[in-house]
Amino acid sequence: MPVRVLVVEDEMLVRVVAAEALRDAGFEVLEAGDGERALHLCKSAAVDVLFTDIRLPGGISGWDVAERCREKNPRMPVIYASAIAAMPPRPVPDSTWFQKPFTGDQVVSVVRTAIDRSPAPSLR
């Protein structure tokens, strides 16, 4: 069964680049353009890896998405993708900071690295 990655990104073209690269690499991908949709997907589907932007439209940030998705799956690897240069003040434990802009190949690489480092035995 393929690893399921939730890609949360409000910029559609950026989301498409990440999602398509992950699909091409054999991952199952769910997509969300805002935090509310991302939380719905975390509740309704088993998400193995979260790849999220920090700044999202509406009142739910990428930090909020990560914290709440981790309530369901505490070992889920989280990758924060942002153009912000500094580390975020609210990272969940064992999360990864990923600098924008990025290529599809870089997205695949950072997701694979997060899976390899994951304490969740089902991902390795």
CATH code (residue 69)? 3.40.50.2300
Crossing angle (nearest 10°) for helices 104-117 and 12-24: 60
Residue 78 lies in a domain: yes
Range of weakest confidence among 16-30, 34-48, 90-104: 90-104
Residue 81 lies in a domain: yes
Range of weakest confidence among 6-10, 26-30, 39-43, 117-121: 117-121
Residue 124 lies in a domain: no
Q: Which domain holds residue 113?
A: 4-118
pTM summary value: 0.93
Tokens of 114: 């997060």
| Radius of gyration for the alpha carbons in the chain, expressed in angstroms and rounded | 13
Neighbours of 41 (CB within 10 A): 19
C-beta separation of 76 from 47 below 8 A: yes
The DSSP element (H or E) to which 28 belongs, if any, is strand 28-32
Residue 24 lies in a domain: yes
Residue 61 lies in a domain: yes
Residue 39 lies in a domain: yes
Side-chain-side CA neighbours of 84 within 13 Å: the count stands at 12
Residue 89 lies in a domain: yes
How many domains, in total, are found in the chain? 1
